Structure 1
Amino acid sequence: MTSSETVTAGLSATRRAVATARRIVVKIGSSSLTTTEGGLDGRRLDTLVETLSRRAAEGSQVVLVSSGAIAAGLAPLGLGGRPGDLATQQAAASVGQQALAHAYAASFARFGLTVGQVLLTADDVVRRAHYRNARRTLRRLLNLGAVPVVNENDTVATAEIRFGDNDRLAALVAHLVEADALVLLSDVDALYDGDPRHGRARVVREIATAEDLEGISVGGTGSSGLGTGGMTSKVQAARVACSAGIPALLTSAELAEEALGEAEVGTVFGTTGPRLSARRFWLAHAASARGRLHLDAGAVSAVVRRRRSLLAAGITGMEGSFEGGDVVELIGPSGEVVARGVVAYDASELPELIGRSSHELPAEQRREVVHADDLAPLD
């Protein structure tokens, strides 16, 4: 056994999965790449690229989800801080994205690697056809040996279709490319059980289940003011990935080399669910819900535990204006979202069906309200 194998063997199963991932998505935050005064920090960007290139040279396929376009455009435009209005953010992004793409292309070229820029809006994953196109493009770039560099398309994104932070985008991309692991890099070295800036706080090294997060405050944000995603968004992104069978690691950009190696740094999140099909993942985490169906306890048990179709008899109420083929949320008796799925009826058709058994309905209305093949339980 080599020394490398000895170290890897001493890691937990989750850390070993990250260390040996053949396809890995790495997300870097704005504060780790830029400064308010000087725009892009070339030294830090080059250090990150060197680390990713080393991982690629070892045989892994790497996808980089990079923030920083807006922040990179601040200094060239003479702006003293991140603007609050959407139009100025878009203007800064149009300047900064060009600088960011050029910097990555030049830096990766030092190691003989070609970069492919992929700009996405939430619309590109909410709309099923767009989702498939993004998936196909990313996979093709990887097959051609390029390094996809993904960012939210801040230049055209509106308030209604923005991801809000690139952490969620990274989790969606990890599933799009069928990654073996997700690494989230920011200015915080790990998840703590409290705010490390105020008093004593303990590092949480591993999250195996949702219960491990109980009592942990994750509301803190970075101190730079350049990014939009705080610790809450990173934990949520990690949980989205893990629910789809993709382990995640959260740590600081300064520890990127160790995080992509075999050191026990940061916090790892173990998988909490099986690998999902592209369709089920899209239903659960990417699609926009157009309405809500309220279910009784029996229907929740059938849909979530037994993976059965939703019938009209188990519905107690509805909200929203939707059409057959739209995605809706399924709500349990306590008000929690238990699943999402594609509804087979228009909102105008359902009121007369709610609560009625199939044998009480006309033959043409006895089909499932949400078919099992179009359901994604959120347990």
Structure 2
Amino acid sequence: MKITNARLIVCSPGRNFVTIKIETDEGIYGLGDATLNGREGAVASYLQDHLIPCLIGRNPFDIEDIWQYFYKGAYWRRGPVTMSAIGAIDMALWDIKGKALQTPVYNLLGGKSRQRMLCYTHANGRTLDDTLEKVAEKMEMGFEAIRVQSGVPGLEKIYGVAEKGKAYEPAIRDGLPYEETWDTAKYLRFVPKLLEKVRDTFGEDLHLLHDSHHRLTPVEAARLGKELEAYDLFWLEDTIAAELQQGFRLIRQHTTTPLAVGEVFNTIFDCQQLITEQLIDYIRMTVSHGGGITPMQKIASLAELYQVKTGCHGASDMSPICLAACLHLNLSINNFGIQEYMGYPDLTEEVFPHGYYFERGFLYLTDQPGLGVDIDEDLAAKHPYQQAYLPVNRLTDGTLYNW
């Protein structure tokens, strides 16, 4: 079998997605998700101008060699654009291999380690009471694990909170990036009250998660983690910007609240110290931005040695192709922890028909060969790409800060 063609499908059925379709001389094709929220065009250009020409004529079964070719073969390594492009190709090659062998990808990764996968969703409200209503709605849908975010009194607009009556979507399609305002002191005073109220209202059995979105210092994160211990969080996510991995040492010294990080990581080197020093409990790297299924298997294996579990990023800014790839990985590894799942609008579901499904708090995979996801190219073509930006963040005095 040889790769004869590879092409990109860039569309916007509700939001922007970049899909690679790799075709072979035996009529089998594979799909990969190359979406990088707010930088889709950069990934598409890297694929089209640099990687796709090097794919033609190769054997799609040589997944490891092709991955190494695009990673080690390029002098300029790593980074979200490069790794998202490589990740899309890797996904598509696993999809081809599964289809050619008439088996789901998880069987190629070692088979099932479980029958279903616990997932969490988001409950976002503008006020505390609004957030409580959203939690109740998600519990009614069957979710057993919920990430809780709320507006903070005194701050007009912050991460995770949508306009009233709308689903949360940070990417702005009209004009330049939206600027939000942040005050750490207000946030630190409010969040313990929020999670105390949620726990008192909904009881002990609900798995509670919360995301600080890289906005704290290690000392601030340690303080917050300690204050939240009474509310038994499943995890506290992205407390600090983790380029400085050893920053988590200070947090770890002061709190037993489980820590999760990694959705913006690209390679194993971004989390090596965090894992080997047991500074985190969950690694949140995802298949697309982490370079594909091939490297994610290795990261999961390293994490397993140090009792760190996976919690793959699964926001709706990645397509159902990426979510399916995460699920095949999750199903096959022993140290799976939880999968983020926000769901998709009906239009996105129509463009990307898939075999996985949600039922009462868990995600399930069918036995469809490959990844079990397809794309309706005709429908996708009716919804062209629209440039979008993620917001930026400033402190109340105007200083640019972490978004």
TM-score by length of 2: 0.29
Larger gyration radius, structure 1 or structure 2? 1
Higher normalized contact order (CA 8 Å, seq sep 6+, divided by chain length): 2
